[in-house]
């Protein structure tokens, strides 16, 4: 997956988990939880969807690396390069 | 009696398979409109069920609906509608003095079945089991979702009481008001049971699942050709308060809860016991301080199982042996069996009789089973009466649990 595809994939997951949010103005370099009403259960949903959709495991110690869209791309790119 | 010790109903919110407001529900009960439809269920294909059409997004965000349960969503809709109907100044009211007491037949089967199906798509690897499973399946879930949605900080819990649960929720709310634990009780019952195949499969295995070529005719209590239960979802929440509280704010009053009782058969897992039904109704009448002859409407529990209907009718014939002005009806014939919501919905559907003087019938009785022939059974078309002063609402459920509520016109 390209970086753009990863960003789109994460955004699509967030659209399902936070269906009331307007994601059109989401800033890639700002923490997701500073822009959206996301709590810890929502965050676990993101981890679960990555597991279900892309067979990506995110260990708890790596959760901080999913803070923003940009950091998601940086973290997931090596894991999704062959997907 | 001291008005601080009298409990009244001042708001009603409901969703039934044939109506999402009391007015719509009542109109369809008087018009003979069923809410039973074909319904796709996992592993079993099409079954017959009562399905509700309320708008969950009227009071919930999409995220709340996604995260919560169907029972919680139904409960929120009903509680919000009840508060709105009551005209209570909810924003100004002390939220710590509001309690939520909801009867349930069961809770958690839907969510557990969904998760098992979910992990079956991943070779039963439990790391795909949702972290939402526990908060969705704790037994207080439907009532707790109401408090989260409405910012209520008083007590909340559910009352597990099989199909006697709707009345049980109402009784619990009344008791908490009498104990002065709260000033307002949101009480009643909810059910989401149609969203798990298990309830249908279990009734089918028991030989107690209704079938009929015409879904609207499938639920037919007291009819000779009845062949079982139509499972339904639904909910009904009453706003209860003490009479002095209601009068102080000029509330419209639907009726006063003057009698109630619950007891146990202690005789069988599934088969009802008419003697215990008799004792339950008589105890409720005693608490109300009235005679059987004072009851104008008996809202029967009958679910259209061969044995259950007969047992209830045996009990009714004993309790109301000499009651020429007492009429009997049944609401499950329209909407099926709404399980935890059944008793509350069935009471709500009858309360407008205090004002309109109609008694809705039991429908789908083409050939009355002689063993279900009770005098003044209102069959297929509504009955008009000069005046209704008392309604007795009868409910019972598996493991031998019975609940009766008596409501008086005020």
Judge if B307 and B212 occupy the same domain. no
B61/A20 Cβ within 8 A: yes
Mean pLDDT for B57-80 is 98
Q: Which of B196, B221, B248 is the endpoint of a domain?
A: B248
Judge if B243 and B368 occupy the same domain. no
Residue B367: the pLDDT is: 98
B321 touches chain A (CB under 8 A): no
**Could you tell me if B230 and B211 are in contact, meaning their C-beta atoms sit under 8 angstroms apart?**
no
Residue B1 has pLDDT above 90, yes or no: no
Judge if B324 and B362 occupy the same domain. yes
Mean pLDDT for B82-93 is 98
Residue B392: the pLDDT is: 98
Q: Give percent of chain B above pLDDT 70.
A: 100
Range of the domain at B316: 256-408
Residues of chain B with Cβ-Cβ distance to A20 below 8 Å are: 61-63
Residues with Cβ within 8 Å of B179's Cβ and at least 6 positions away in sequence, in order, are: none
Which residue is associated with the tokens 């369809």?
B28
Residue B334: the pLDDT is: 98
pLDDT tens-place string over residues B177-190: 999 999 999 999 99
Mean pLDDT for B324-349 is 98
pLDDT tens-place string over residues B196-239: 999 999 999 999 999 999 999 999 999 999 999 999 999 999 99
Mean pLDDT for B318-343 is 98
Phi, psi of A53 (to 5 degrees): -85, -35
Judge if B225 and B168 occupy the same domain. yes
pLDDT tens-place string over residues B245-254: 999 999 999 9
Copy the structure tokens of residue B155.
């007590």
Distance CA B218, CA B226 (A): 8
Residue B338 has pLDDT above 90, yes or no: yes
Judge if B126 and B26 occupy the same domain. yes
B67/A19 Cβ within 8 A: no
Range of the domain at A16: 3-80
Greater confidence, A83 or B199? B199
Q: Shortest CB distance from A48 goes to which of B66, B67, B130?
A: B130
Judge if B132 and B219 occupy the same domain. yes
3-state SS record for chain B: CCHHHCEEEEEEEEEECCECCHHHHHHHHHHCCCCEEEEEECCCEEEEEECCCCCHHHCCCHHHHHHCCHHHHHHHHHHHHHHHHHCCCCCCCCHHHEEEEEEECCCCHHHHHHHHHHHHCCCCCHHHCCCCHHHHHCCCHHHHHHHHHHCCCCCEEEEECHHHHHHHHHHHHHHHHHCCCCCEEEEEEEECHHHCHHHHHHHHHCCCECCCCCHHHCCCCCECCCCCECEECEEEEEEEEEHHHHHHCCCCCCEEEEEEEEEECCCCCCCCCHHHHHHHHHHHHHHHCCCHHHCCEEECCCCCCHHHHHHHHHHHHHHCCCCCCCEEECCHHHHCECHHHHHHHHHHHHCCHHHHCEECCECCCCCECHHHCCCCECECCCEECCCCCEEEEEEEECCCEEEEEEEECC
Number of domains in chain A: 1
Judge if B168 and B260 occupy the same domain. no
Please name the residues between 54 and 73 in chain B that touch chain A, using a CB distance below 8 Å. Answer: 61-63, 66-67
pLDDT tens-place string over residues A17-66: 999 999 999 999 999 999 999 999 999 999 999 999 999 999 999 999 99
Q: Which of B248, B282, B307 is the endpoint of a domain?
A: B248
A59 to chain B, minimum CA–CA distance in Å?
A: 12
Judge if B220 and B359 occupy the same domain. no
Q: What is the pTM of this model?
A: 0.97
A52/B128 Cβ within 8 A: yes
Residue A82: the pLDDT is: 86
Chain A and chain B share a number of CB contacts under 8 A equal to 22
Q: For position A38, which CATH number holds?
A: 1.10.1200.10
Judge if B138 and B224 occupy the same domain. yes
pLDDT tens-place string over residues B93-144: 999 999 999 999 999 999 999 999 999 999 999 999 999 999 999 999 999 9
Q: Model confidence at B289, in pLDDT bands (50, 70, 90)?
A: very high
Q: Shortest CB distance from B128 goes to which of A37, A44, A51?
A: A51
Judge if B260 and B240 occupy the same domain. no
**Could you tell me if B146 and B75 are in contact, meaning their C-beta atoms sit under 8 angstroms apart?**
yes
Q: Shortest CB distance from A41 goes to which of B61, B122, B132?
A: B132
Judge if B359 and B211 occupy the same domain. no
Using the 8-state DSSP alphabet, how is residue A82 labeled?
A: T
A21 to chain B, minimum CA–CA distance in Å?
A: 9
Q: Which of B248, B269, B285 is the endpoint of a domain?
A: B248
Per-chain mean pLDDT for chain B: 98
pLDDT tens-place string over residues B141-170: 999 999 999 999 999 999 999 999 999 999
Nearest Cα residue to B323 out of B297, B355, B351, B284:
B297
Q: Model confidence at A83, in pLDDT bands (50, 70, 90)?
A: confident
Handedness of CA A44, A50, A56, A61 (dihedral sign): negative
Q: For position B238, which CATH number holds?
A: 3.40.47.10
Number of domains in chain B: 2
Residues of chain B with Cβ-Cβ distance to A41 below 8 Å are: 67, 131-132
Judge if B77 and B117 occupy the same domain. yes
């Amino acid at each position: 997956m390209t970086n753009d595809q990863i960003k789109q994939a994460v955004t699509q997951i967030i659209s399902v988990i936070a269906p009331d949010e307007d994601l059109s103005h989401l800033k890639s370099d700002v923490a997701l939880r500073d822009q959206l009403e996301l709590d810890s259960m929502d965050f676990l949903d993101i981890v679960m969807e990555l597991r279900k959709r892309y067979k990506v495991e995110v260990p708890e110690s790596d959760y901080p690396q999913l803070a923003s869209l940009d950091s998601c791309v940086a973290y997931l790119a090596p894991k999704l390069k062959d997907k | 009696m001291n008005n601080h010790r009298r409990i009244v109903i001042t708001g009603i919110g409901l969703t039934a398979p044939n109506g999402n407001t009391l007015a719509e529900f009542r109109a369809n009960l008087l018009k003979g409109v069923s809410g039973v439809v074909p319904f796709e269920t996992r592993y079993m294909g099409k079954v017959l069920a009562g399905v509700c059409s309320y708008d969950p997004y009227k009071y919930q965000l999409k995220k709340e609906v996604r995260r919560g349960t169907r029972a919680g969503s139904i409960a929120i809709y009903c509680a919000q509608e009840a508060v709105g109907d009551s005209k209570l100044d909810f924003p100004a009211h002390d939220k710590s003095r509001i309690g939520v007491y909801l009867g349930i037949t069961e809770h958690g089967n839907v969510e557990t079945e969904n998760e098992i199906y979910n992990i079956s798509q991943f070779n039963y690897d439990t790391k795909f089991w949702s972290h939402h499973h526990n908060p969705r399946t704790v037994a207080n879930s439907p009532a707790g979702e109401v408090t989260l949605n409405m910012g209520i900080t008083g007590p909340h819990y559910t009352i597990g009481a099989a199909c006697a649960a709707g009345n049980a929720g109402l009784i619990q709310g009344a008791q908490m008001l009498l104990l002065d634990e709260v000033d307002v009780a949101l009480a009643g019952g909810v059910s989401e049971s149609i969203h798990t195949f298990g309830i249908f499969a279990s009734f089918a295995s028991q030989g107690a699942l209704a079938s009929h070529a015409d879904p609207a005719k499938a639920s037919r209590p007291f009819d000779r050709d009845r062949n079982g239960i139509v499972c339904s979802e639904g909910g009904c929440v009453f706003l209860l308060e003490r009479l002095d509280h209601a009068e102080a704010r000029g509330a419209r009053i639907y009726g006063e809860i003057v009698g109630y009782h619950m007891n146990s058969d202690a005789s069988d897992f599934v088969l009802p016991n008419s003697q215990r039904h008799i004792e339950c109704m008589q105890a409720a009448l005693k608490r109300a301080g009235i005679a059987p002859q004072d009851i104008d409407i008996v809202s029967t529990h009958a679910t259209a199982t061969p044995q259950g209907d007969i047992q209830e009718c045996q009990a009714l014939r004993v309790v109301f042996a000499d009651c020429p002005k007492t009429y009997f009806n049944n609401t499950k014939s329209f909407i099926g069996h709404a399980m935890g919501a059944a008793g509350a919905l069935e009471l709500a559907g009858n309360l407008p009789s205090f004002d309109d003087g109609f008694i809705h019938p039991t429908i789908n009785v083409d050939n009355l089973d002689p063993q279900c022939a009770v005098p003044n059974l209102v069959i297929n078309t509504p009955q008009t009466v000069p005046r209704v002063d008392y309604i007795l609402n009868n409910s019972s459920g598996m493991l031998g649990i019975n609940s009766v509520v008596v409501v008086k016109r005020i």
